[in-house]
Structure 1
Amino acid sequence: MQLIFEFLSQQWMLAGAWLMLALMLFYHESRKAGPTVGNQELSDMVNREDGVVLDVRDGGEFKNGHITSSLNIPLKDLEKRSVELNRYKDKPVIVVCKFGQTATGATKTLRAEGFEKVFKLRGGITEWSAANLPLVK
């Protein structure tokens, strides 16, 4: 541990440059993924703005419980099936996965396809069900 501190004190410019690069990369990647929304925001978008919930989990997980009126397109099929979502391009699309991390890839794919109002559900379906919100089976 002492060697690390010694190195950092001697090479502070190099360490600072690496830290700055890491922070910029993190910031850039998080901005590309798009904003996240909580459970209440998802409900508001669906009810007030005709938002669409896109569940990117596989079919088995979807059948075990999903948010009411959500569409299921597994992440692995999203590029091929994104045409099915074209009618929702002018509406908010909220992407849902199990924990909220897989949705990042889906939001990037949808943004590349021209969707502008793309969000991901913070914490995924796990946080939704932990809040005792309704799931359809």
Structure 2
Amino acid sequence: MSIKIMMNQLIEFSINHWEMVAVFFVILATVVYVESKNGAKSVNASTAINMMNSENAVILDIRPNKEFKSGHITDAINIPATKVKESLNTLEKHKDSPIIVVCKAGLNSSATAKDLKKEGFAQVYKLQGGVSDWQASSLPLVKG
């Protein structure tokens, strides 16, 4: 099917179902707004490395302890996501440093990053793709 035919069908669908399309865009705009307002900025692995080297960024690995021990970023602090709120005192000394929240695939770090921002941590980021992308980029992981 050619692109021209697909575009014509998309336009026809949009005209015939304009209410549904309008609702979709309102929901999309709301999600984008909420994420940009409250969410932490994503950083890729190379940016994270630069931040670790030049800004003393702290890596907060929120995976369960067993996953953390199977391989983690050097000098990462492990606090499982379910225990971050009760372990804020551990992070308090890093309040003025950038904190990069890391999970397995980059999907669970958003909630923790938002919680840290609410607690007054100004420089909170999340690692795009998590440890999986870090490893896929052939970057080192420490076991134990």
Q: TM-score, normalised by structure 2?
A: 0.85
Q: Following the alignment from structure 1 to structure 2, what is the Cα–Cα distance between the partners of residues 71 and 35?
A: 20
Name which of 62, 67, 71 aligns with 1:56: 62
Name which of 42, 47, 50 aligns with 1:44: 50
Task: Extract structure 1 runs of 4+ deviating beyond 6 A.
Answer: none
User: Does 2:24 correspond to 1:19?
Assistant: yes
Instruction: Give the secondary-structure state (helix, strand or coil) at the position aligned to 1:136.
Output: coil
Question: Kindly, what percent of the aligned residue pairs are identical?
Answer: 38
RMSD between aligned alpha carbons? 1.7
Shift of 1:89: 1.2
- Equivalent position of 1:28 in the other structure: 33
Instruction: Give the secondary-structure state (helix, strand or coil) at the position aligned to 2:134.
Output: helix
Q: Following the alignment from structure 2 to structure 1, what is the Cα–Cα distance between the partners of residues 120 and 83?
A: 17
1:67-101 alpha-carbon deviations (Å, 9 max, x no partner): 00000000000111112111111110000000001
Q: TM-score, normalised by structure 1?
A: 0.89
User: Does 2:90 correspond to 1:84?
Assistant: yes
Instruction: Give the secondary-structure state (helix, strand or coil) at the position aligned to 1:36.
Output: strand
Q: Following the alignment from structure 2 to structure 1, what is the Cα–Cα distance between the partners of residues 22 and 114?
A: 28
1:25-61 alpha-carbon deviations (Å, 9 max, x no partner): 2202321221100111111111100110000000000
Shift of 1:9: 3.3
Instruction: Give the secondary-structure state (helix, strand or coil) at the position aligned to 2:84.
Output: helix
Structure 1 unaligned regions, length at least 5? none
